[in-house]
Amino acid sequence: MKPENQTNILEFLLLGFSQYPEHQPMLFGLFLLMFVVAVLGNLLIILAVSIDSHLHTPMYFFLSHLSISDIGFISTTIPKMLVNIQTQNKSITYAECITQIYFFMLFGGMDTLLLTVMAYDRFVAICHPLHYSVIMNPQLSGLLVLVSWFISFSYSLIQSLLMLRLSFCTNQIIKHFYCEYAKALTIACSDTLINHILLYVIICVLGFIPFSGILYSYYKIFSSILKIPSADGKYKAFSTCGSHLSVVSLFYGTGLGVYLSSDATSTSGKGIVASVMYTVVTPMLNPFIYSLRNKDIKKALKTLGRIPFLSGKLTGFRHLN
């Protein structure tokens, strides 16, 4: 592009769901409801794990951090979208866009790493039950979470800093409901080769490697479960990782749908729908998946229900379960 076509962009336009103007009030109510349910559900998981001493184990320690990450993940995109729908203003400032990209990558990467750590925890619990307390000691559990946060902070910071070096032309339209990094790169005027290379490297490192680790863990888990002679023993062993397997399937299934459909259907809206599943529905459903058939979580929620200021909120949560 010629230099005169470049400008210092102060804001971008997020098209979002603008192709459905008559549905804006319904979309506002729906996303507000999902946001509130997701935040409250994950907060209850965090409170339950913090208050109930029976949940002070590595598995629930990782789960509480997953809930923290999910709250951050959904809070990165939905509040801004709700404001834009309410004000009928599709703009997002350049600073807000960079900030949104940073935190979206931070919490998205953290979800990926935590799910991998949780798979390793289930692998040790089922394949090496006698050594579980020795292997998954508090020091290792804390180190795994700390390393996960450090990796997520580092790569999201690098990506955001590389974004700052780009210049943008007069085309300020991002065909999404949030400032999605890959789509923001498509409207840049300057060379984005380094950004794309790093993006693909990170997708491989934080996508393929953790997912391969999860698959390997569950391969060993299923192999161990099949060796258990009794059907009741197999059921108990599988029930300890059923919730995590459901969350992994939901997270990677919807995430894969985003990357497979985003380019091919960017104008049809299907990519946006896939992103909604990935960024909104998954964080909302995680607390319910872990509490539906988990007796320890249900017991902890009942304990929280005895706290006066939480009793009303937990009544509705229990009805949903």
The answer to whether residue 117 sits within a structural domain is yes
The pLDDT of residue 264: 41
Q: How many CA atoms lie within 13 A of 57 on its CB side?
A: 13
Q: What is the pLDDT at residue 305?
A: 65
CATH number at residue 21: 1.20.1070.10
CA atoms of 83 and 299, how far apart (whole Å)? 37
For residue 275, what pLDDT is reported?
77
CA distance 116 to 125: 14
Give the sign of the dihedral formed by CA 212, CA 248, CA 59, CA 223: negative
The verdict on residue 308 lying in a domain is no
| 244 vs 66: CA distance, rounded Å | 11
Give the structural domain span for 64: 11-294
Tens-of-pLDDT digits for all 321 residues of the chain? 444 344 456 788 888 776 666 778 888 899 999 999 999 999 989 988 888 888 889 999 999 999 999 999 999 999 998 988 888 888 888 889 999 999 999 999 999 999 999 999 999 988 888 899 999 999 999 999 999 999 999 989 999 998 888 888 766 888 888 888 888 888 888 888 888 888 888 878 877 888 889 999 999 988 888 887 877 777 777 777 778 888 888 888 776 666 655 444 444 556 677 778 778 888 888 888 887 667 777 777 777 666 554 555 555 555 555
What is the per-residue DSSP string for 66-108? Answer: HHHHHHHHHHHHHHHHHHHHHHT--EEEHHHHHHHHHHHHHHH
Specify which residues 188 forms β-bridges with.
168
Is the residue at 142 inside a domain?
Answer: yes
Domain assignment of residue 193, yes or no: yes
Contacts of residue 169, Cβ cutoff 8 Å, sequence gap at least 6: 1, 5, 6, 7, 187, 188, 189
Q: Residue 227 has what pLDDT?
A: 83
**pLDDT confidence of residue 258:** 63
Residue 69 is predicted with a pLDDT of: 94
Dihedral angle, C-alpha 14, 19, 24, 30, nearest 10 °:
-80
Question: Does some domain include residue 257?
Answer: yes
How many domains are contained in the chain?
1
Helix (H) or strand (E) holding 12: strand 11-14
In a domain, residue 170? The reply is yes
**Phi and psi dihedrals of 12, rounded to 5?**
-115, 165
Establish if 319 belongs to a structural domain. Answer: no
Domain presence at residue 3: no
